[in-house]
Amino acid sequence: MPSWLLALLRVPLIGKLIGANVLIAGAVCGAATLMHQDWTSETTVLVLSMLGVVLVNIGLVMLALRPLADLESTAKRIWRGDVSARVPESLLADRDLQRVGGALNALLDGLTADRERLRELAARVIRAGDEERSYIARELHDSSAQSLAALLMELSVVIRETDDPAAVERLQRIRRIAGDVLDEVRMLAQAVHPRVLDDLGLGAALQHLVREAETRSAVRIEVVVEDSADEVSSAVSSVLYRLAQEALNNALRHANATTVMVRAGVVGNVARVEIVDDGIGFHPVEAERRRPGMGLFTMRERIALLDGVLEVESAPGRGTRITARVPLLARTNAQVTSASAGT
């Protein structure tokens, strides 16, 4: 097929209709001119009439195609992720276009309802997981840790009452081992579920996480937490805290960073956590392809369950920036879930 014909066929519909009207009007005017060799007033009236007809047709065509433009605009908004977009009602649309627009709106309403149900289910799943981790952490802290602490006290008493130097040395060695185990149990309880997250919220939990990380590393860690960070729901707080924990551990273990920045707050209607380091960086796509199950990228799926977004910006030698955004709408769903769980 010739390229000029292909280009002609690809002309937008409105261009084709306008072009057809112009050709018809031109043909009529040309025929009238040939029939009347002399330009008369009748010829002028005919030409002006045809010009008026063409302009009216152009206007009618543009009005008739306006609903199609609305459909296209709505489809583009949906493609960009705006599922709240709807095809507006139009007095100019014919019945067929009205049915198409109505079907699309009904489809979008169903999609929105499904997303709401999925988000509510995700909040329940996250809440159940958090409750289980919280239970395990309490058991470790209140049972195992307390038992080990009591054992240390008993060992201290026995050491003071023992006169045999060899026995004392062995008992002291046992006490040191028990003390190390107690520290590990407490750290494990904190890692499983930080009690401060339930008691004081996301901001205090992130600050505590940073303080704990600073005791284990020489990396300089800064934390900036806005007061608004404590306004999000427990489900969102848990997801964002786990993300910060995973990203911070990666920065300290693998990035060879000298400085790490942790930020948290609410921007508009979105809860936001950002972790930035000046480490060696990596190729996010290649890393995800090599290790699809690594913690940071599995967090993307968990955040997506709450209709959130995880962005990983990194390159070799340029550090890493990890940003998570979760809409506050998830807060309402989590509160509804919490209320329904308690009834």
Q: What is the pLDDT of residues 160-172, one digit of tens each?
A: 888 888 898 999 9
Query: Is it the case that residue 334 has pLDDT exceeding 70?
Result: no
Query: Is it the case that residue 29 has pLDDT exceeding 60?
Result: yes
User: pLDDT confidence of 174, banded at 50, 70, 90?
Assistant: very high
Mean pLDDT of the region 276-291? 81
Q: What is the per-residue pLDDT for 143?
A: 84
Mean pLDDT of the region 328-333? 53
> Nearest Cα to 218, choosing from 183, 258, 190?
258
User: pLDDT confidence of 9, banded at 50, 70, 90?
Assistant: low
> Higher-confidence residue: 14 or 135?
135
Cα dihedral 17, 23, 29, 32, rounded to 10, equals -120
In the chain, CATH 3.30.565.10 covers 218-343
Query: Is it the case that residue 34 has pLDDT exceeding 70?
Result: no
Mean pLDDT of the region 183-206? 82
> Nearest Cα to 25, choosing from 3, 56, 4?
56
User: pLDDT confidence of 131, banded at 50, 70, 90?
Assistant: confident
pLDDT single digits (tens) 51-98: 777 777 777 777 777 777 788 888 888 887 777 888 888 776 677 778
Q: What is the per-residue pLDDT for 10?
A: 65
DSSP bridge pairs for 223: 262
Cα 49 from Cα 25, distance rounded (Å): 9
Mean pLDDT of the region 134-141? 82
Q: Which amino acid is at 342?
A: G
Cα 72 from Cα 134, distance rounded (Å): 49
User: pLDDT confidence of 272, banded at 50, 70, 90?
Assistant: very high
User: pLDDT confidence of 278, banded at 50, 70, 90?
Assistant: very high
Cα 190 from Cα 141, distance rounded (Å): 9
3-state secondary structure of 341: helix
Whole-number mean pLDDT of the chain?
79
Cα 241 from Cα 273, distance rounded (Å): 9
Count helices and strands (H / E) in the chain: 12, 5
Q: What is the per-residue pLDDT for 95?
A: 76
> Higher-confidence residue: 146 or 334?
146
User: pLDDT confidence of 37, banded at 50, 70, 90?
Assistant: low
**CATH class for the domain made up of 218-343:** alpha beta
Rg over CA atoms, the chain: 35
Q: What is the per-residue pLDDT for 274?
A: 94
